[in-house]
């Protein structure tokens, strides 16, 4: 076992920059805001921060549409601010991971401005263009943000590919000049001293060279996307998607590792991939590739389902040996694209207990752990009363489509609220002051109205708060590396309410028991035929202890066996 890689045992804290902390009163979180909160992050106990895009951007997709990769958007700060952030983070022993968007640029990027200027421009082939078929779309490929992935360009009479917004044209990664330009850009940031890269939707870099339609596997028929919201709504195992997971993408990942990453010391790389099965992860991550992959299994579960939780963890842990040398897992329950974890997997009735249970679940899993800002205080989904208050392009487009299809306005809003990425993007709730202490100005996105009760200041002095429980769990993970590197052995696999497992290595053996239900549960003894919990040492619990064989709703117990 290689214990030398810092990222293997890291708890990484994602910061959605726009919503973290506003230092200058313009209503937008910024780099100086992170710097001012570094002591809070240090006190939380995490090892690294992952900062979402801060590059020059028109903000059509909130910064994931980049018009200049090597400059800072003014509302976020300056290059000097970024350099200071790296320095101040390192001074506190905190690593810095930054977001990299490699699949596409903004349509306002100078490269694309040149590319669309004429068919003979030297940068024409830097993006994916197609003349169309008999005056119609090139194929049925669908944007993740609704509608065709092709946009007709009047000037040159051809279509360009955009797997996301039409203002996010896809780069042509088959072009060696594109690869070298992007590799140079990555070197620019690694030379700034960053410690890791989160690579946005990395498995979309290359599309089918023959531009074949996406089809259903069972009958080979072309998918009619007009009958569904987008290609993310089709179960990936049921289709052949010619825009994702192409073999050439895997080759580019290896080239990136060999030409760029290996030239720097101990750089961490995590790739977001959808769809991402263990087999896909094996192609993208491991020795000579990326370090780990994000999968979406919890996101698409979209509810608290104990049996499914067990199956997901067992599938990913059980696949490590088959994925080859260097295979490693990472886990998360929420991020800037997902609803708040306590709103999806927790309980309104047992809000505090379920928030603590989810923390214990995440922080006792093997591998690298990602947690999202605000989860440590139990922030929840927001429900704005009008679509005009939402900023998420995916949410707004979905609402518009529902209305166009004749869905009544209240139902359309309700459905859009459920899937909105703004659920996780409302400003961080620092105090019960106006706007949750996030800004002295007008926030770019409304603050969740529960900020008066759910905020950092209210929990900092409370030893029984969600925040304190997170700190205790993170410290436990540092004290017991068994929780990082140890084996994972599931118990009570058929139980409908309880998730239990043993984490064990040569140093320790820990038993984790989580009641994931709103019911009181009686345990049968012994749990695995050998363990008698009366002969163990209780390390952490989120409730006052009573009968050791009776679990209160959402009760957490972690024992040293």
Could you give the residue numbers annotated as active site?
A: 200, 272
Residue 54: CA atoms inside 13 Å, Cβ hemisphere, count?
30
Please tell me the distance from the alpha carbon of residue 285 to that of residue 198, in angstroms, as a whole number. Answer: 13
By DSSP bridging, strand 550-551 and strand 521-522 are antiparallel
Please tell me the distance from the alpha carbon of residue 193 to that of residue 188, in angstroms, as a whole number. Answer: 9
Give the residue from 67, 77, 65 showing the smallest Cα distance to 36: 77
Contact 446, 384 (CB under 8 A): yes
Would residue 220 be called left, alpha or beta, if left means φ above 0 and alpha means ψ between -120 and 50 degrees? left
The contacts of residue 47 (CB under 8 Å, 6+ apart) are 6, 9, 10, 11, 12, 93, 94, 95
Residue with tokens 């710097």: 35
Residue with tokens 């050439």: 248
Q: How far apart are the first and last CA of the chain?
A: 23
Question: At 178, is the secondary structure helix, strand, or coil?
Answer: helix
Contact 349, 517 (CB under 8 A): no
Helix 247-259 with 176-190: angle, nearest 10 deg: 40
DSSP assignment of 353-369: HHHHHHHHHHHTSSSEE
Please tell me the distance from the alpha carbon of residue 131 to that of residue 133, in angstroms, as a whole number. Answer: 7
Contact 162, 168 (CB under 8 A): yes
The contacts of residue 91 (CB under 8 Å, 6+ apart) are none
Phi, psi of 231 (to 5 degrees): -70, -15
Cα angle 397, 400, 402; round to 5: 110
Element (H or E) spanning 32, and its range? helix 31-36
What is the number of residues in the chain? 561
Element counts in the chain: helices (H) and strands (E): 16, 22
Phi, psi of 455 (to 5 degrees): -160, 165
The DSSP 8-state label assigned to residue 303 in this structure reads: S
Give the residue from 472, 487, 481 showing the smallest Cα distance to 541: 472
**What ranges make up the beta strands (E) of 227-374?**
239-240, 268-272, 292-294, 330-331, 368-372
DSSP assignment of 440-485: SS--SSPPPGGGGTS-HHHHHT-TTSHHHHHHHHHHHHHH-THHHH
């Amino acid at each position: 076992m290689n214990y030398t890689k810092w990222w293997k045992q890291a708890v990484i804290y994602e910061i959605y920059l726009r919503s973290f902390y506003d230092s200058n009163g313009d209503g937008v979180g910024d780099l100086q805001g992170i710097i001012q909160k570094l002591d809070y992050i240090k006190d939380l106990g995490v090892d690294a921060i992952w900062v979402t895009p801060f590059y020059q951007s028109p903000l059509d997709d909130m910064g994931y549409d980049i018009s200049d990769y090597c400059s800072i958007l003014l509302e976020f700060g300056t290059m000097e601010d970024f350099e200071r952030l790296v320095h101040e983070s390192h001074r506190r022993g905190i690593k810095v991971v930054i977001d990299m968007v490699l699949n596409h640029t903004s349509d306002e990027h100078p490269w694309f401005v040149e590319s669309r200027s004429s068919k003979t421009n030297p940068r024409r082939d830097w993006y994916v263009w197609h003349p169309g078929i008999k005056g119609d779309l090139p194929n049925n490929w669908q944007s993740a943000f609704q509608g065709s992935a092709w946009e007709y360009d009047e000037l040159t009479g051809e279509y360009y590919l955009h797997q996301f917004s039409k203002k996010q044209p896809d780069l042509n990664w088959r072009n060696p000049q594109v690869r070298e330009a992007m590799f140079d850009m990555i070197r620019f940031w690694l030379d700034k001293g960053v410690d890791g890269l989160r690579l946005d939707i990395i498995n979309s870099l290359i599309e089918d060279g023959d531009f074949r339609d996406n089809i259903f596997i069972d009958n080979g028929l072309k998918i009619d996307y007009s009958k569904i919201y987008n290609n993310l709504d089709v179960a990936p195992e049921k289709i052949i998607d010619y825009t994702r997971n192409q073999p050439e993408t895997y080759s580019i990942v290896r080239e990136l590792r060999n030409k760029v990453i290996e030239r720097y010391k101990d750089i961490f790389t995590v790739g977001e991939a959808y769809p991402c099965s263990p087999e896909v992860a094996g192609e993208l991550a491991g020795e000579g590739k990326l370090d780990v992959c994000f999968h979406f299994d919890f996101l698409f579960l979209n509810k608290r389902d104990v049996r499914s939780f067990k199956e997901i963890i067992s599938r990913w842990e059980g696949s490590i040996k088959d994925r080859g040398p260097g295979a490693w897992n990472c886990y998360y329950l929420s991020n800037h694209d997902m609803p708040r974890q306590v709103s999806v997997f927790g309980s309104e009735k047992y809000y505090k207990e379920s928030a603590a249970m989810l923390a214990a679940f995440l922080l006792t899993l093997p591998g690298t752990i990602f947690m999202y800002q605000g989860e440590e205080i139990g922030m929840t989904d927001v429900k704005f009363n009008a679509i005009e208050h939402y900023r998420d392009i995916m949410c707004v487009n979905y609402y518009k489509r529902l209305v166009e299809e004749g869905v009544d306005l209240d139902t359309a809003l309700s459905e859009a609220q459920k899937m909105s990425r703004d659920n996780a993007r409302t400003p961080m709730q620092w105090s019960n002051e106006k706007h949750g202490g996030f800004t002295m100005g007008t926030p770019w996105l409304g603050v969740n109205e529960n900020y008066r009760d759910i905020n950092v200041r209210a929990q900092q002095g409370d030893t029984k708060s969600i925040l304190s429980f997170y700190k205790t769990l993170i410290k436990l993970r540092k004290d017991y590396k068994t929780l990082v590197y140890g084996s994972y052995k599931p118990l009570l696999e058929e139980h409908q309410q309880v998730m239990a497992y043993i984490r064990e290595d040569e140093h320790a053996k820990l038993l984790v028991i989580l009641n994931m239900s709103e019911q009181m549960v009686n345990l049968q003894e012994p749990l695995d035929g050998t363990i008698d919990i009366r002969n163990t040492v209780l390390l952490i619990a989120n409730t006052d202890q009573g009968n050791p064989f009776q679990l209160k709703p959402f009760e957490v117990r972690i024992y040293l066996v």
